[in-house]
Amino acid sequence: MKLVFLGPPGAGKGTQAARVETAYSIPQLSTGDMLRAAVAAGTEIGKQAEDIMARGDLVPDEVVVGIISERIEADDCANGFILDGFPRNVSQARALDEVLVKKDVTLDAVIELAVDPDILIARILKRANESPDGARDDDTEEALQHRLRVYEEQTAPVADFYAEKGILRTLDGMQEMDEVTQQIRSALDTI
């Protein structure tokens, strides 16, 4: 099963992707983890990424897509994978499509966790205030609103891109974690 998880920051993508990873025995792929692994492995694309990251620059889409292209060929991806938080924009979605077509791989579904932004912000702020480690630097209402605006401007259109392909499954991410997990499993069972 080949999946993409979409949703704004704090929607629970990582938590739900980890649960799907366990239930379906397919790896959850995080672009940050993949970049670090490619650098550590010394692959050609990893070397490119290392130079870019050493300068403090953002890794360009073509390098990130190249790392994903390499990663999905690994043995643990033979039965599928979950891309968690990628693609982040329509340009990346198109580039990912091109890579998948060349590999004769098709995404089975794109799971979007829909949330109410105001409730989401309140939930994250409450969680941050109750955390024994204290709030993260970016767990302020202002920072969260900015992250949500960036998501709406850049990433939300990715859902439309996949809706046109007929593989988008939008689920209510405002439910309790176990209920969201059940919604995802029900959606995946229809594939």
Which domains, from first to last, does the chain contain?
2-115+155-189 (3.40.50.300)
- The whole-chain average pLDDT of the chain stands at 89
Whether residue 2 lies in the annotated active site: no
**Can you tell me the distance from the alpha carbon of 12 to that of 177, in angstroms, rounded to the nearest whole number?**
8
> In this predicted structure, what is the pLDDT of residue 187?
96
Strands (E) across the chain are located at 2-6, 28-29, 81-84, 109-114, 168-172
pLDDT at 142: 85
Which comes out higher in pLDDT, residue 32 or 27? 27
Render pLDDT for 84-111 as a digit per residue (tens, 0 to 9): 879 989 999 999 999 999 999 999 999 9
Q: Are 75 and 27 in contact (CB under 8 A)?
A: no
* Single pTM value for the model: 0.86
Say which range, 7-11, 17-21, 26-30, has the weakest mean pLDDT: 7-11
Instruction: Band the pLDDT of 31: cuts 50, 70, 90.
Output: confident
**Measured distance CA(125)–CA(64) in Å, rounded:** 31
The active-site residue out of 47, 103, 126, 127 is: 127
Q: Is 36 a catalytic residue?
A: no
CA distance 117 to 151: 11
Instruction: Give the separation between CA 2 and CA 7, rounded to whole angstroms.
Output: 17
Set 36, 94, 123, 147: catalytic member: 147
In the prediction, which pLDDT does 135 show? 60
Residue 137 is predicted with a pLDDT of: 62
pLDDT for res 46: 83
User: Per residue in 128-146, pLDDT tens?
Assistant: 777 777 666 667 788 888 8
Question: Which one is catalytic: 2, 13, 19, 169?
Answer: 13
The burial class, CB within 10 Å (0-12 / 13-18 / 19+), for 97 is middle
Whether 13 is a known active-site residue: answer yes
